[in-house]
Amino acid sequence: MNQRQIIIAMSGGVDSSVAAALLVEQGYDVTGAFMINYDDKAEGHGECWRPDYRDAVRVAAKLGIPLLRIDCTKEYREQVIGYMLKEYQAGNTPNPDVMCNKYIKFGVWLEKLKEKGFDRIATGHYANIEKKNGQYFLTTAKDENKDQTYFLHQLNQTQLSHIEFPLGKYTKDEVRLLAKKYHLPTAEKAESMGICFIGEISINDFLKDNRIIVQPGNIIKDETEEVIGEHEGLPFYTIGQRHGFTQTGGDQPLFILEKHTQQNELIVGYEDNPKLYKTDLIIQDMHWIIEEEPVFPFDAQVRFRHRQKKQPCRIQKQKNQIMIHCTQPQKAITPGQFVVIYKNSVCLGGGPVTNELP
């Protein structure tokens, strides 16, 4: 195979468009690929991919590269949407973007492209890969605000060995300028919003469309232990969410503190309620990007969500559980939410919160 041959995953957005242009400029033999992940016409939200596909076609034509169209809808529904619905049903807070990267973009996509004779895939993610002593390290992007290593932390050594991230050394502003320099049709395109695979509908509507099982139950105010209303179903709520229920005799907003699945109760309280803040938590299904585990205990930093400033912490291991002690209390940590561990610029890996320490 030609070592300069590469596939660029083109979403129809400005980032993947610029990534493709950079690869062409660098002399690669570039082929574009547009992946269809979601196409559910039956629910009235399908084919939201078509406008993006038209943009990807226009960019490929501008760059003079071929564009493949590959259907991954079956695998996506099984491995990403299936995971998402299962987690919501259990009362957890899932992150479908993490699983999409692990199982689809750098799993199914990569295997389908290998079948077509390609060995390397590039995307418009803001991240970097460094190879040292035979190991691949996932490192943060130049643009800390756009850094996407949080969403990529479940990748393994084999996957990283086949990936290029052309935008890792650029800021978003620089990428916008490059899009104009290359006269790309997507240069002025706005950032995509909403759920990435289904378009501009609410998560609650999506869950209802997929017939997730819900049961109304009591809303309990923690400070007084009184029932102040009825929730629609626990899967529709997440820890830390501002609750819209209007209470009598007070104007302070209420936030979701806990979800008691067995009792089907939603616990709410004021923003300064101690139950909304945690310093200790457990990761059970920890994924390390480097095959050798680090020596425990050690000091590191963590993120609980994309774009969050890295939080200092202490990492320990007991049996098969990774225990994290944060220097400062962290707001709204919820089961199912991914915790990603960093050692300065290196992303070590991460996993979902499965339990909280007393």
Nearest-angstrom CA–CA distance, 217 and 204: 17
* 163-171 mean pLDDT: 98
What percentage of the chain reaches a pLDDT higher than 90?
77
- The pTM for the full model equals 0.93
Nearest-angstrom CA–CA distance, 53 and 60: 10
Nearest-angstrom CA–CA distance, 216 and 232: 5
**Same-domain status, 115 and 195:** yes
**Same-domain status, 185 and 234:** no
Identify whether 299 is part of a domain.
yes
**Same-domain status, 104 and 185:** yes
Asked if pLDDT for residue 2 goes beyond 80, the answer is: no
Give the distance from CA 80 to its chain's centroid. Answer: 11
**Same-domain status, 117 and 176:** yes
Contact 55, 187 (CB under 8 A): no
Quick check: is 196 catalytic? yes
Asked if pLDDT for residue 44 goes beyond 90, the answer is: no
Q: Give the tokens for residue 74.
A: 């079956």
**Same-domain status, 30 and 161:** yes
Nearest-angstrom CA–CA distance, 81 and 100: 9
Identify whether 209 is part of a domain.
no
- How many other C-beta atoms lie within 10 A of the C-beta of residue 97? 19
Cis peptide before 51 (omega within 30 of 0): no
Binding residues for ATP: 9-16, 35, 124
Nearest-angstrom CA–CA distance, 19 and 125: 9
42 pLDDT tier (thresholds 50, 70, 90):
very low
**Same-domain status, 267 and 293:** no
Asked if pLDDT for residue 1 goes beyond 60, the answer is: no
The count of structural domains within the chain is 3
50 pLDDT tier (thresholds 50, 70, 90):
confident
Element (H or E) spanning 282, and its range? Answer: strand 277-283
**Same-domain status, 222 and 321:** no
Q: What's the pLDDT score for residue 198? A: 57
- What pairs with residue 264 in β-bridges? none
Q: Active-site residue among 100, 313, 326, 347?
A: 100
Nearest-angstrom CA–CA distance, 259 and 48: 33
**Same-domain status, 185 and 329:** no
Q: What is the CATH number of the domain that holds 50?
A: 3.40.50.620
**Same-domain status, 262 and 289:** no
- How many other C-beta atoms lie within 10 A of the C-beta of residue 349? 22
Nearest to 35 by CA among 82, 63, 67: 67
Asked if pLDDT for residue 246 goes beyond 60, the answer is: no
**Same-domain status, 279 and 264:** no
Amino acid of residue 37: N
What are the backbone dihedrals phi and psi of residue 16, each rounded to the nearest 5 degrees, phi first?
-70, -30
Contacts of 82 (CB under 8 A, 6+ apart): none
**Domain stop point among 204, 222, 248:** 204
Q: Give the tokens for residue 308.
A: 């969050």
Binding residues: 9-16, 35, 124
- Domain range enclosing 333: 275-356
Q: What's the pLDDT score for residue 150? A: 98
